[in-house]
Structures are given as C-alpha cells and as structure tokens.
Structure 1
Amino acid sequence: MNSRLSPRTAFLLTLPPVLWAGNAIVGRMVHDMVPPIMLNFLRWALAFVILLALAGPVFRRDSGLWQHWRRFALLGLLGIGMYNALQYMALQTSTPINVTLVAAGMPVWMMLTGWLFFGAGVKRQQVIGAVLSIGGVLVVLARGELAHLLELRLVAGDIFMILATIAWSLYSWLLIRTTEPAGLRADWAGFLLAQVAFGVLWSGGFAVGELALSDAAIHWNWQLGVALVYVAVGPAVIAFRCWGEGVRQAGPAIAAFFSNLTPLFAALMSSLILGEAPHLYHAAAFLLIVGGIIVSSRR
C-alpha cells in the first residue's frame, strides 16, 4: 500500500464517485417504481450474472473462496447487502441534499474506524484534508449561500445514511486485510464475485423481508430496465473494481477523500439534467475537495 498517489491510482479512485453520483440520481428517479431493498437485490443479482461469465471458476474447491468464506460473507454484507440498500432507503425518506451531507462525513468515519478497530494512526494532514474536503462538500450543499445550510434539518431517514457510511468504512478497511490466496486477490472479477455471491444472499433475504413487511410492489417498465442495467454495470461492477484496487494502492483513509467527489459530481449531473449551467461555487468546491485529497496524501 502506497501513501502517495500516482495518476493511475487517482483515476481509479475518481471514477467510482462519478458512477456513484449517477447511482444516487437513478435511485431517486426510480424510487416510485421499485422498493429500495428490492432495487439493491435486483442490482446485485444482475451484477452476479455478469461476473459469473467472467470468473465462474472462483467457485471451484481450490479457489480459496470456501476456505475464507467468512471473510467474503462479511464483505458481502457490508459492501453489498447493507451499503446501497441503506442508501436507497435514505433516498426514500430523506431529501437528496441531506443524504449527501451525511455521506460527506466519510473521511471522518474512515479515520475513526481505522483508529478504533484496525490500529491505524490519525495524522495531522489527514485531519486538515478532512476539513478541506468536507468544506468543499458544504459549499456544494449550500449552493454558495450560508442560509441554505442553516435551513437543513436531519430527519429519521438520515440515520440510514449514517449507518451506510459506517458500513462502507468498515468494508474499505477490511479490503486491505488480505487473508485469501494471492491468486484469488489478483483476479479482480473472481475476488468481486466472491463478495457478490454472499452479498446477493444477504440482499435477497433483506428483500424478502421488505416485501413481507410492506405492501411495496415493483412497477416494471423500460425505464426501470435501463436503470437496473446502469446500476449493475457502472456503480456495481466497474466502480467496485476500481475502488477495490484504488483502496489497495492508496489505503482507506486517503480513498475516503475521493468519495467526497460524489456530491460534487451529483450536483453537476443534476444541473445537466435540469438544464442548468454549473456555477462558480462548483469550481470552489472542486478546489477544496481536491486540496483535501492532496494534503491528506502527502507523506
């Protein structure tokens, strides 16, 4: 694990926020078509089929999956069964701006998780970087005006996003605690499929419970079909592949700052969808977030 960023590592950690920003927008667009936990299950079930075609041999006895099934079951629970299900639930009951604000605490949660559970130290430049990065997110959320921040109110749904952020922090730290064979770790599709296999079981169980405890229903149409393809291929397979490799190279603490690019990209995408041009505060937020990344990644 290298504490300095190469251009390749920076790209690996920047692409997932772009795809995840699209995921948040799509999740909001289809929230009336499919229940949130069912959406998460359908997303990963489709991703499972895609990965199965790429890395089916991972289910062989000698692949290392079955010897380390508890680790993959935990990764599948945190990163697949919980994180996006909680995010989709948050989008059902909270406003997108509040969800984004709660998620902006990722660098702080990542540092606390590493310190409390993984023996990681907290360096001064990481704290400074966190302040800069979160400041950039707040600029976006405030749309350049302090009054907008003062109007924010947390609601019950925001608790879902807090839990999602903690789950993702634990997931990212566990990624670098390598116990599986090197061959399995080197096979990105097989390594991800090992997580998704258990994640589908977790999310499927949660989806069954959701249907049993509510009157939610799926309203199939072509828009939902396109949305499922996007969230399965982009934010799931491609983003998880890039994030896993980026975390391995840069470490969870530094990678967390890149996650704060997600609300910036989401704001830009929303502006494009609504036909609005980007504003000057978007540029200011970008500089603050990138500044946080640069400061936190220095030796």
Structure 2
Amino acid sequence: MSAPHPAPLSLSTALLLLIPPLMWAGNAVVGRIAAPWIPPVTFNLLRWIIAFLILLPLAGWVLRRGSPLWRDWRRFAWLGLFAVAGYNMLQYLALKTSTPINVTLVAASMPVWMLVVGRLFFRAPVRRQAVLGSVLSLTGVVVVLTQGDWRQLGHLQLVPGDAWMLLAAFVWACYSWLLTRQNEAPEIRRDWAAFLLAQTTLGLGWAGLLTAGEWLWLTQLAAPTGAPLIQWSWALAAILLFVALGPSLLAYRCWGTGVQRAGPTIAAFFSNLTPLFAALMSAAFLGEPPRLFHAVAFGLIALGIVVSSARRP
C-alpha cells in the first residue's frame, strides 16, 4: 500500500508551521540579549532543566524502571548529545560574537551538511537537484560571511560566532539523520513529550559535563575578573522561561504536528522564514536592521531549498 499523501495546506496547519520559525528566531534574539548576563553553556543547561521539569508531569513514565528508554539508552544519549547539549550550546556560543540575523542565515547551510553527513555516514544517494540547491544555499551563506563584498573572499576571517554556527549546522545534520533511524520503542516515538523527555534526560548529562568545564575555565584557567558569572535579574529569568517553553517545547510540538499534516517538503519552506523573523526582531529589539546583503542571502537560501526539494517530473 502506498503512503498516504499529505493533506492540502489548511489555515490551521499553516499557523502551526509558522510558530516554530517564530520561536527559533526569538531564541536567537533573546540569546543575544542574555549573552552579557550568563555564560552560553550554562544558559543552555538551565534552559533544558526548566524544559525537563515541565515535561516531567506530561511523560514521567519514561523514567520508570522497565521503560524502553533504559533499553535504548545509547541511542537517546547520542540524540541528547547532538540536540540538547550540542546544537543549542553552539548556537548560544555563536550569539556571543555574531548577530541573530547572521546566526540564522549561516544555519541555513544545513542542506549542505545534510548531503555530506548522509553520504559519508548513512550511504544516502545524492540527487542532482539536491547538489544544486545546496550550492545555492552555500552561496547565500558566503554572502553573509563576506557581507556582500566578494573581494573579501581572498582574506575572509570568520568571527568566532560564524564558525560556531557552521559547526552547529553540522551537528544538527547528524541529529536529523539519526532521527531517520527509528529504532526506539514506538510508544516513545509516537508521544512527542515522551520522545523529547527521553532525549532531554540523557542530554542533560552531557550539558552538565560541558557546563562544569565552562565554569572550570572561567573561574580557574581563564583570567578571572571577580565579577559574578551569572547576573541574575527578572529579565534573565523571563528569557530562560521563554526559551524553555517556546523554542524547546511549543516549537517542537507544533513542528511535529505540522509536518505530519503537510509533509516535510512543504514544512521545509516554513523553516526558512527563521532568518526573516530574526531580521524583523533584531530591528525591533536590538537596533540591528537588516542590510541588502541579508536579503540577497535569504533569497539564495530560499531558492536553494526550492530547487533541492523539487520532484522530478
């Protein structure tokens, strides 16, 4: 029996798919705001601790003795490393020195990393349209890195944030390919809260180790400034609550439902709204208006997605 075709895109489905890129853009903007107040790795750990506490009453059965989580703990440990500890930590590191617009646009190099990781580690075939689309998307990323001046290619120097975000895109590609290997118990896979809690539980272990290393570096190995590492305020508390509820839980829930309704191809177009939303939010809250090269880069990245997702006649 052939797989059912996704239902036509309805208004409710479109609204569901608009929420994740809005949350992801907001995550980049508030992450930039919080950068002076809290170390990035610690920020990521606290975000997921709050998300864990929210998920616990929704899917606490995952942590019981005899749960499929403990049988498949190695798989969820890898998923937690890439998604909970890896990608988000690297994004917050990137926001220390780069802008939300740049971060979200550089993250759009994902199609390139998807092809590389899929081919090298999962023996996935590479379509010609996918290669062309990846080249277009990568060109858009280069436009961002050179700020639209191609003469800069000869002596291009990445700011640390851009380099961190390129690594984050590679990590997310690894995570996405691991998701295609659906080896875990179906009772966890079909429950979004249980699936996210399983990843978060083991991902917190990785995030805790990385945070301990960050504090060791800041307090002993680096030149200590004497200032508190975390500058607590109501604004920081509100940001932590937002990133735990919005980008961590609400976006994940809406994205999963939207993809089930519309299919991954249509959903991919909505994910590319993240840089646009980030540009609008940066102009409104950070005084960082988008420039012409941002629009060119966004157009190239969007065109790359359209080309790579096109079906053969």
TM-score, reference length from structure 2: 0.79
User: 1:1-150 maps to which residues of 2 (within 5 A)?
Assistant: 7=9, 15-96=19-100, 98-134=102-138, 141=144, 146-147=148-149, 150=152
CA contact (8 A) 2:259 2:267 kept: yes
Deviates more, 1:1-10 or 1:27-36: 1-10
Deviation string, structure 1 residues 22-77 (Cα, Å, up to 9, x no partner): 11111110111111000000000000011112111112234311110100011001
Question: Do residues 269 (structure 1) and 271 (structure 2) align?
Answer: no
CA contact (8 A) 2:101 2:279 kept: no
2:250 aligned to which of 217, 238, 246: 238
Going from structure 1 to structure 2, the CA distance change for 1:83 and 1:246 (only over 3 Å counts) comes to farther
Equivalent position SS for 1:92:
coil
In structure 2, C-alpha distance between the alignment counterparts of 1:47 and 1:190, rounded to whole Å: 12
User: 1:86-235 maps to which residues of 2 (within 5 A)?
Assistant: 86-96=90-100, 98-134=102-138, 141=144, 146-147=148-149, 150=152, 153-215=157-219, 217-235=229-247
In structure 2, C-alpha distance between the alignment counterparts of 1:171 and 1:2, rounded to whole Å: 26
CA contact (8 A) 1:107 1:256 kept: no
Deviation string, structure 1 residues 92-139 (Cα, Å, up to 9, x no partner): 244555544542321101111111111211112222333444556667
Bigger-Rg structure (1/2): 2
In structure 2, C-alpha distance between the alignment counterparts of 1:203 and 1:89, rounded to whole Å: 13
Residue 297 of structure 1 and its aligned partner are, at CA, apart by: 2.3
Equivalent position SS for 1:178:
coil
Letter in 2 for 1:239: A
In structure 1, C-alpha distance between the alignment counterparts of 2:111 and 2:266, rounded to whole Å: 8
TM-score, reference length from structure 1: 0.83
Residue 148 of structure 1 and its aligned partner are, at CA, apart by: 8.8
Letter in 2 for 1:86: L
In structure 2, C-alpha distance between the alignment counterparts of 1:45 and 1:181, rounded to whole Å: 24
Equivalent position SS for 1:61:
coil
Deviation string, structure 1 residues 135-178 (Cα, Å, up to 9, x no partner): 56667x499x8349949730344332222111111001111210
Gaps of 5+ in 1: none
Deviates more, 1:13-22 or 1:118-127: 13-22
Going from structure 1 to structure 2, the CA distance change for 1:19 and 1:31 (only over 3 Å counts) comes to same
Aligned residues: 296
Letter in 2 for 1:294: V
